[in-house]
Amino acid sequence: MSAPIRPTVTTTGGAGPLVARLRDSFEAGRTRPASWRRQQLEGLRALLREAEHELVEALRADLGKPATEAMMTDISFVRSEAGMALRELGRWMSPERVPVPLVQRPARARIARQPLGVVLVIAPWNYPVNLLLAPVVGALAAGNCVVAKPSELAPATSAALARLLPRYLDQEAVAVVEGGPEETGALLAQRFDHIFYTGNARVARVVMEAAARHLTPVTLELGGKSPALVDAGADLEVAARRIAWGKLMNAGQTCVAPDYVLVHREARDRLVGALGRAIHRFYGKDPARSPDYARIVNDRHWVRLRHLLEATGARVALGGEGDRPSRYLAPTVLTDVDPDDPVMEEEIFGPILPVLDVEDLAQAASFVASRPSPLALYVFSRSDAGVEQVLQRTSSGSVCINGTVLQLAVPGLPFGGVGESGTGAYHGRSSFETFSHRRSVLAKPVWPDPPLAYPPYTRLRSWILRRALSR
């Protein structure tokens, strides 16, 4: 966000009446039928198909995002999520049978998924289609009304979504609110049944504070410094290609991008050389002229990244060039990085990759474990024992072995953070569960109704009950 968000009791832009209208729709039962849910999911898929060009152009205007990258990371991803929800909706909605203890029989127990009500989805600017609509898929599949808040820092995409969503989705149950901190603050002052926020930890604290006033549950998808650990015996050419691809997608503005590399000292120079070859292969001699290399979202973030480079005491091994008017920052690799360097103190969120030397994977794992848990962790090694050691000694939201970023594209894997990198998870069924209440239901027949369970508890009844309950 471009300015502090302060929840307020005002309803700028009609936040109060808007939420009240959606709540009326929910309480009338409009969103509960499976047919309504399927209709909304089909509407989203139609939007992504019919308005694909418009969304791609909006993403290009906001982020300089290449068309193929926009398709891969924003549009196709949401299309797959909606497709999976359509295929699996009947199974997800079906009650889940639960065994009943012998002492309570005859009886039947089940878990029934219920929609939560009216939910708020606040999206960031870096993947403004994906990170708004993927949670919306889960919210609609679960039968909720939704307020969708796109990021004002991606204005072209925000405007496109605000224009398109009402055409394809039920306007009595889904609303889009554009604007900046003032509009977001007005929304946060309302009572929602769930708030789903993707962004940075500073704003997440504001969201949690606002949610606490109404005891509203939250899902927080944040970030952190996601490390890539490279063993001496790893295939360095493959590791370099996959690290460079994951790092430089969207010019590094990805929450799970490799933020820094910990590499065995003996392999450091070879890895840096391989990174240079991979970058050249991807973007040519001058990445500024490549149609496949994105731009920094705005001037403020470009200046922030330049300040990080100017403040570092590390050596610029590759890149370092930039052009402020076009918001271009070259793919940049740093070596001889001090762990206390400014570039290691915050999530970079740009195309700057610090490379630090370590003695072995054990030291790398200790380094990661000594810092806040990252959103993602990447390990490149041919040693199963070495990988297992890293997994046992570290904590992270997700792990990808001998790859980067790809874990997000597996719908069966929950995506979310741990500790400072986030709370809760989504994607696939996890999205449906996030926006559902798991309601416990126990049903007993009227007969039999043995007197044994009721007072007075005679010595015989107490003995029988104790024996039955101890099984």
Residues 177 and 211 in one domain: yes
- With respect to residue 95, please indicate whether it lies within any of the assigned structural domains: yes
Query: What are the pLDDT tens digits along the chain (471 aa)?
Result: 345 554 433 334 589 999 999 999 999 999 999 999 999 999 999 999 999 999 999 999 999 999 999 999 999 999 999 999 999 999 999 999 999 998 889 999 999 999 999 999 999 999 999 999 999 999 999 999 999 999 999 999 999 999 999 999 999 999 999 999 999 999 999 999 999 999 999 999 999 999 999 999 999 999 989 999 999 999 999 999 999 999 999 999 999 999 999 999 999 999 999 999 999 999 999 999 999 999 999 999 999 999 999 999 999 999 999 999 999 999 999 999 999 999 999 999 999 999 999 999 999 999 999 999 999 999 999 999 999 999 999 999 999 999 999 999 998 899 999 999 999 999 999 999 999 999 999 999 999 998 888 999 999 989 988 888 887
CA 449 from chain center: how many Å? 50
Domain that holds residue 347: 227-412
Quote the number of domains for the chain: 2
- Whether residues 297 and 233 share a domain: the answer is yes
pLDDT of residue 304: 97
CATH number of residue 110's parent domain: 3.40.605.10
User: Does any domain span residue 302?
Assistant: yes
DSSP string of 433-466? Answer: HHTEEEEEEEE--SS---GGGSSP--HHHHHHHH
Of the candidates 81, 221, 347, 433, the residue annotated as catalytic is 221
Q: Give me the pLDDT at residue 83, please.
A: 97
Q: Are residues 378 and 429 in the same domain?
A: no
For residue 466, being part of any structural domain is answered with: no
- Catalytic, 400? Answer no
Q: Are residues 201 and 347 located together in one domain of the fold?
A: no
pLDDT of res. 4: 55
105 in the same domain as 166: yes
Same domain, 202 and 56: yes
Q: Is residue 453 part of a domain?
A: no
455 is a domain residue: no
Contact 292, 302 (CB under 8 A): no
Question: Residue 336 maps to which CATH number?
Answer: 3.40.309.10
C-alpha distances (whole Å) from 26 to each of 121, 311, 409, 429 are: 17, 52, 32, 22
User: Cβ–Cβ contacts within 10 Å for residue 161, how many?
Assistant: 26
Question: Does 170 share its domain with 267?
Answer: no
Q: How far apart are the first and last CA of the chain?
A: 57
Last residue of a domain, one of 378, 395, 412: 412
Per DSSP, the residues of 97-125 read: EE---GGG-S-EEEEEEEE-SEEEEE--S
Shared domain for 285 and 369, answered yes or no, is: yes
Q: Is residue 296 part of a domain?
A: yes
Instruction: List Cα–Cα distances, 271 to 232, 265, 268, 330, in angstroms.
Output: 10, 10, 5, 19
Asked if 178 is an active-site residue, the reply is: no
Note whether 198 and 328 are same-domain residues: no
Does any domain span residue 446? no
Considering the domain architecture, whether residues 20 and 161 belong to the same structural domain is answered as: yes
Residues in the chain, total: 471
Which residue among 69, 81, 145, 255 is the active-site one? 255
Say if residue 76 is in the same domain as residue 133: yes
* Contacts with 263 (C-beta within 8 Å, 6 or more apart), sequence order: 229, 230, 271, 355, 356, 357, 358
pLDDT at 470: 82
Per-residue buried b or exposed e for 17-51, using 16+ beta carbons within 10 Å of the residue's own CB: ebbebbbebbeeebbeeeebbbebbebbbebbeeb
Residue 335 located in a structural domain: yes
Q: Do 274 and 206 share a structural domain?
A: no
